[in-house]
Amino acid sequence: MAILTETKARSMKPGDKPLPDGKVTGLRLHPHSREKGRGQWKLRFISPSTKQRRDMGLGAYPDVSIADARAKAEEARRLLASGVDPIVERSRAEVAAQVLEDRAMTFETAARRRFEELSPGFKNSKHKQQWINTLQTYVFPEIGALPLSDLKASHFSNVLRPIWLLKIETAQRVRQRCSEVMDWAYSQDLVQGNPVSVVDKLLPRQPSKGQRVQHHPALPWRKLPEFYAAQLSKPTKSTYSLLAFLILTAARSGEGRGATWSEIDFEQKIWTVPAERTKTRRLHRVPLSEAALIVLGGQQTRSNGNVLVFPAPRGGMLSDMAVSALLRRHRVPSDVAGRTATAHGFRSTFRDWASESGYARDLAERALAHAVKNQSEAAYHRTDNLDQRRDMMEAWGRFARSGI
């Protein structure tokens, strides 16, 4: 049999028959389907274990030269002579190499891999970025380059200690995300256990949630009419109209900023917030009071045909900081000493007013679109009490505007 040369290999064209090597039994160069002078090396042999004919790929020509292909084929032939199937042996070696690579995986690599798997389940992009950003800020600089198998509880306690008492909520989130990564590693047999599960034993006790909870600073409800009359009775910009609308509907900032005219039913006096924009991921219907309709009426001209009810001056959605800046600019007082009232805090203002005005707890909670935490109650309570809430929201609107 003629010996395969570089000249023959480079002359091979698509459609030609495979060229035998002539030196190593079973080694052949198969032509490329579209390009001249290119091909695929294959070694044909009989498996010693199955007695079946098999073709083993050895790489592409000319990336793998004739000499390299012969060397690979001869190594495979030596395995065959000892009763080993070279394809099986290659697979075993690849698995072993992957195991060694996985065992050397660093915490940062594992965290980013787990983050990619979790990403499709995040409700919004902000929460998605917060998940990985906290690890990038507090964890990766300290232990990101360490192999998973080397990590102990002390590594994580050292990462958490600087923020454990200073930034309690952040520390809890970092701890939970580190635990998520190590649980994933344990499920992949990359570690023997999750050291984060005992990290509390190496850190001081944190204040209880009741001791540290901080509510959004809110304008006391009795002061609302005065503030509304002074700043919101005749809004001249979308930001002021948005704040007035958020107050009158007790809605969340993101729901109001993303409101579109297609969601507003002027005839039925209802604003329907789609499920994808609510925190509970459930459609929320808001009865529109006359006060809220006044705000919308003024905004129809101001939005100038925009899809959004409260567009930014240069188009698009208003920033979540727009209303906060407005409140700071006017130094709106709150129930927290030294703090300015927040947009979210007006939901508390509404809740306090509803309680003081004698409205049922369930009606107020429905107006705030809070989820029913008791699963049994949620299963049976399927009405949103729209008609009953309409009277309450109308009274709330009259109260807000009572200082005008």
- Give tens-digit pLDDT for 242-290: 999 999 999 999 999 999 999 999 999 999 999 998 988 899 999 999 9
- CATH of region 221-400, choose from 1.10.443.10, 3.40.1160.10, 3.10.450.50, 3.20.20.70: 1.10.443.10
What is the structure's pLDDT at 13? Answer: 94
Nearest alpha carbon to residue 357 among 313, 394, 383? 394
Question: Domain spans of the chain?
Answer: 6-87, 107-212, 221-400
Nearest alpha carbon to residue 329 among 238, 225, 231? 231
Euclidean distance between CA atoms 172 and 212, whole angstroms: 13
Same fold, 107-212 and 221-400: no
Alpha helix positions (H), 341-385? 345-356, 361-367, 375-380
Query: What is the arrangement of strands in the sheet containing 264-265, beginning at the earlier edge strand?
Result: 264-265, 270-273, 284-287
- Give tens-digit pLDDT for 190-221: 888 999 999 999 999 988 765 444 567 899 99
CATH superfamily, with its number, for domain 6-87: Integrase, DNA-binding domain (3.30.160.390)
- CB-based contacts of 206-214 (< 8 A; 24+ apart in sequence): 206/164, 206/165, 206/168, 206/171, 207/168, 212/168, 214/336
List phi, psi (to 5°) of 359. Answer: -80, 145
Euclidean distance between CA atoms 404 and 401, whole angstroms: 6
Nearest alpha carbon to residue 29 among 17, 45, 41? 41
Structural contact between residues 58 and 43, judged by C-beta atoms closer than 8 angstroms: yes
Euclidean distance between CA atoms 402 and 229, whole angstroms: 8
CA angle centred on 134, ends 133 and 135, rounded to 5°: 90
Report the CATH architecture of 107-212.
Orthogonal Bundle (1.10)
Query: Strands 264-265 and 27-31: what pairing?
Result: unpaired
- Give tens-digit pLDDT for 159-175: 999 999 988 889 999 99
